[in-house]
């Protein structure tokens, strides 16, 4: 097993600020926008972006939540282990809102497909966009593409992209792992 650093802490920080600015460019004061971090790993990216938007760019009325897609996945009973659920915290209705899904790695697109179904439980959004830190562009199973991407990666299927966060793993870094 070998691993390669794709992004270090400084690069992650620059990308996060760039993504925050791109969001501001399209969503102004976020009055009709909600950010939704996809559980389990998109949560950290969403939390970090929300923090940057609030503290560095003074976005006051930022609505954001975490969405768990476990019960909406299409691989129930297909794997060895059961799918473990995480917490959903969405304390608002997304009816007529502009929703931005946030996830760390976009791979097959199946999680996003599940999220598109899951979000319907909270109303009919006006518009849905996708923000992802890493886009593995040649691995898609479904016609799904990000609207905002941190870094595009050409990884082959047996490679794994690992995103670490300071609040969870002790460092901000992205690794490409060859199994």
Partner 1 sequence: MSQLSVNHLLGIKYLTKADIQLIFETADQFKEVINRPIKKVPSLRDITIANLFFENSTRTKLSFELAEKRLSADVINFSATQSSVKKGETLVDTVNNILSMKVDMVVMRHPSPGAGVFLSKHIDASIINAGDGAHEHPTQALLDSYSIREALGSVKGKNVVIVGDILHSRVALSNIYALKLQGANVMVCGPKTLLPKYIGDLGVTVETNLKKALNWCDVANMLRVQNERMDISYFPSTREYAQQYGVNKALLNSLDKKITIMHPGPINRGVEITSDVADSNQSIILNQVENGVAIRMAVIYLLASKIK
Interaction between residue 77 and partner 1 (CB under 8 A): yes
Considering the complex, state which of residue 55 and residue 84 has its C-beta at the smaller distance from partner 1. Answer: 84
d(CA 37, CA 44): 8
Find the shortest distance in angstroms from Cβ 80 to partner 1: 9
Task: Output phi, psi for 98, to 5 deg.
Answer: -95, 115
Measure the CA dihedral 96/98/104/110, to 10°: 50
**Measured between alpha carbons, how far is 46 from 49 in angstroms, rounded to an integer?**
5
Q: Of the candidates 5, 21, 61, 83, which one interacts with partner 1 according to CB under 8 A?
A: 83
| CB of 10 vs partner 1, minimal distance in Å | 36
Q: Is 72 in the site for partner 1 (CB under 8 A)?
A: yes
Among 8, 26, 28, 87, binds partner 1 (CB under 8 A): 87
Q: CA end-to-end span of the chain, whole Å?
A: 5
Helix (H, G, I), strand (E, B) or coil at 3: strand
Decide whether 62 or 69 has the Cβ nearer to partner 1: 69
Q: What's the token pair of residue 115?
A: 């999220």
88 sits near partner 1 (criterion: CB under 8 A) = yes
Q: What is the DSSP-derived secondary structure letter of residue 102?
A: E
- Report 93-152 residues binding partner 1 (CB under 8 A): 93, 117-118, 120-123
Q: Which stretch binds partner 1 (CB under 8 A): 16-24, 40-48, 74-82, 159-167?
A: 74-82
> What distance lies between CA 120 and its chain's CA centroid?
18
Does residue 91 touch partner 1 according to CB under 8 A?
Answer: no
Q: Does 68 bind partner 1 (CB under 8 A)?
A: yes
The residue to which tokens 């050409």 are assigned? 154
Which residues make up the interface to partner 1 (CB under 8 A)? 68, 70-73, 76-77, 81-88, 93, 117-118, 120-123
């Amino acid at each position: 097993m070998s691993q390669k650093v794709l992004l270090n802490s400084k690069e992650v920080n620059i990308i996060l600020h760039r993504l925050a600015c791109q969001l501001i460019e399209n969503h102004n004061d976020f009055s009709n926008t909600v950010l939704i971090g996809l559980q389990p790993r998109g949560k950290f990216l969403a939390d970090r972006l929300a923090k940057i938007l609030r503290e560095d760019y003074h976005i006051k009325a930022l609505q954001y939540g975490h969405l768990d897609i476990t019960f909406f996945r299409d691989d129930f009973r297909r794997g060895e282990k059961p799918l473990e659920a995480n917490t959903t915290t969405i304390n608002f209705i997304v009816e007529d809102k502009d929703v931005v899904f946030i996830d760390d790695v976009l791979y097959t697109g199946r999680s996003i497909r599940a999220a598109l179904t899951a979000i319907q439980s909270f109303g009919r959004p006006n518009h849905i966009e996708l923000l992802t830190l890493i886009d593995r562009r040649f691995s898609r199973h479904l016609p799904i593409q990000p609207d905002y991407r941190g870094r595009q990666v050409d990884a082959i299927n047996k490679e794994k992209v690992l995103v670490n966060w300071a609040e969870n793993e002790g460092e901000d870094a992205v690794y490409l792992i060859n199994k």
